[in-house]
Chains A and B, each alone.
Chain A
Amino acid sequence: MSHAILMESGANDIDFMIHGLIPVNFFGHEVWITTSHVCILIVVLLMLALGIAGNIKMRHATEVPGGFQNILELLVEKLEGIVYGTMGRVAAPKFANYILTIFIFIFLSNISGLFGLRPPTADYGTTLALGLITFSLIHITQFKNLPLKQIWKDMCSPLPPWLPIWFPINLISEIAVPISLSLRLFANVLSGTVMMALVYGLLSKLAIIWPAALHLYFDLFSGAIQTYVFCMLTMTYISQNYETE
């Protein structure tokens, strides 16, 4: 890993890089288990624990919901409302589970900076994977639901279908979707991580209590907005491929 300019200029406390922990031999290449993997594991275990606890709780669900059941019902109802409002009645039941899952995953990842972890979404590997999943979903639903003639017509969109001059440009705009989705999430979370590392690294003596306000903005607000944007765009792109009724 190359040295940073800031690190060479004497500020040794600034640290927002991904660190390798354990080298692994992967078909002759040396790859590393990094801090991102560990943070993803923590987030996933937290999600699993939440899921199992919720499952056990909802088995003995009461008519008048108590504390934990109330929170679960609120969460599921709100998120399902968003999914149904965006995708319509036909597509929403198929994707509600997936959208809810990535919503909780990205949100927990984004706010994990609050708990001293390096957010896994500040690693381009994570967000690119999420973007590629969205990309595959878009095109699987496209080929499943629309006739080939319609897809070809859409790809040559401003010009008639027998004149595919516009086809390469539309192809590029299709490929740009996962890249822009993943880079948006990555750069947002990374900028927050870097800002917090700069505050804590350069103002180490002065950074008492007031960075909480910065955490509130960079981790909670920005993280929640970006989660919402990612899920919203995923839903919009997927529901484009369903017939509007």
Chain B
Amino acid sequence: MNISGHDLIMACSAIGAGLAVIAGIGPGIGQGIAAGHGAAAVGRNPGAKGDIMSTMLLGQAVAETTGLYGLLIAMLLLFVQPLG
């Protein structure tokens, strides 16, 4: 089997893309913590459910950004192929 330089770069890009989406762990933990505290807050003060929900969703969407950067790197490696 012949492996050319281009094939090697493609394979390594795929591995790199897989490694890049590990970044999703962080936002997952962060969003879980935010949701847990949100649930606790609703339990303490059910009247403020609307405010708590919107604040929680805003925080979660901002926390998601780092994970999306990882996804973006993976997409760039797979589809734009800056190295190949």
Interface residues of A (CB under 8 A from B): 2, 4-6, 17, 180, 183-184, 186-188, 190-191, 194, 225-226, 228-229, 232-233
Contacts and interface: CB of A to CB of B under 8 A. Distances in A.
A187 B61 contact: no
B79 A4 contact: yes
Task: Say whether chain B's binding surface is mostly helix, strand, loop, or mixed.
Answer: helix
A183 B80 contact: no
Given A4-B79, A5-B10, A184 B57 contact: no
A226 B80 CA distance: 25
A228 B53 CA distance: 13
A183 B62 CA distance: 11
Interface residues of B, number: 20
Interface string B63-75: 0110011011001
B61 A183 contact: no
A229 B80 contact: no
B58 A229 contact: yes
Contacts of A225: 57, 61
Given A4-B78, A191-B71, A229 B61 contact: yes
A232 B78 contact: no
Given A228-B58, A232-B58, A5 B65 contact: no
- Of the listed residues B57, B71, B79, the one surrounded by the most CB atoms of chain A closer than 10 A to its CB is B79
B14 interface: yes
Contacts of A180: 65
Contact of A187 (B58, B72, B81): B72
30 contacts: A2-B79, A2-B80, A2-B81, A2-B84, A5-B10, A5-B14, A5-B78, A5-B79, A17-B79, A180-B65, A183-B68, A183-B69, A184-B62, A184-B64, A184-B65, A187-B71, A187-B72, A188-B64, A188-B68, A190-B72, A190-B75, A191-B68, A228-B54, A228-B57, A228-B58, A229-B58, A229-B61, A229-B62, A232-B58, A233-B62
